[in-house]
Amino acid sequence: MSDDSQQPAQPWPTVVSSTDLSNSFLGELIEICIVTSDHQRTMEGLVRLGIGPWRIYTFDSNTVSERTYHGVEADWAIKVCFADVRDLAFEIMQPLYGPSIFQEHLDRHGEGIHHVAFDVGGRPWQERLTEFAQRGFAVSQSGRFVDQNQFAFFETEAATSTTFESYDIPAGFVWPDPEAWFPAPPPQGHQPPVRVQGTVG
């Protein structure tokens, strides 16, 4: 029988409170995303649960700059739908073409929850990337929506069973008009919330 006491101790972080470790850095949970092969069907199901209204965008070369896939410039497109439930954003992603971690997820696991997003405490963008990299998590996919909202996904699935994302909405950001709303747009004067986190670095 092996003697566990002889095994070297794991360098686990110190527990500093009931909600924090000494290496905590993720900040607030701001988004949950579902990947699907049919964004319309998924929106309809979530509307039946009272989640909506949904605003619909296409993320492609017209709306997203600096598109990468595993650190290499890449041409990809996804249909992206957003709805807000109090302080949390719900997102639906449907891959349209090109290499993507979203299509990989559909091929390996099928439809379902794909990632969660955190604000990393509003840190400058490069500092967020460094924080993930220092923990061994490289960027798997990234881009900049309407040349303002920087976003990145990280290779956390093997370690955590899911993908983590962070994105940075700078001060003054205004959501562009969506391609469509489902099931209908909100009343006049009601705008989608903007979760400003800091300045993109």
Tell me whether residue 75 is in a domain.
yes
Tell me whether residue 158 is in a domain.
yes
Residue 165, C-beta contacts closer than 8 angstroms, at least 6 positions apart: 31, 33, 115, 116, 117, 118, 151, 152, 153, 154
Q: Domain total for the chain?
A: 1
Strand ordering across the sheet containing 72-73: 72-73, 64-69, 139-145, 149-154, 163-168, 112-118, 29-35, 88-97, 77-85, 54-59, 180-182
Q: What is the CATH number of the domain that holds 85?
A: 3.10.180.10
Tell me whether residue 156 is in a domain.
yes
Cα 35 to Cα 167: distance, rounded to the nearest angstrom: 18
Tell me whether residue 81 is in a domain.
yes
Q: What is the pLDDT of residues 115-143, one digit of tens each?
A: 999 998 889 999 999 999 999 999 999 99
Can you tell me whether residue 116 is helix, strand or coil?
A: strand
Tell me whether residue 185 is in a domain.
no
Give me the domain span that covers residue 54.
Answer: 25-173
Tell me whether residue 17 is in a domain.
no
Tell me whether residue 14 is in a domain.
no
Torsion sign (Cα): 92, 96, 101, 107:
positive
Q: What is the pLDDT of residues 52-81, one digit of tens each?
A: 999 999 999 999 999 999 999 999 999 999
Please state the pTM of the whole predicted model: 0.90
Tell me whether residue 130 is in a domain.
yes
Q: Say if CB 21 and CB 14 are below 8 A apart.
A: yes
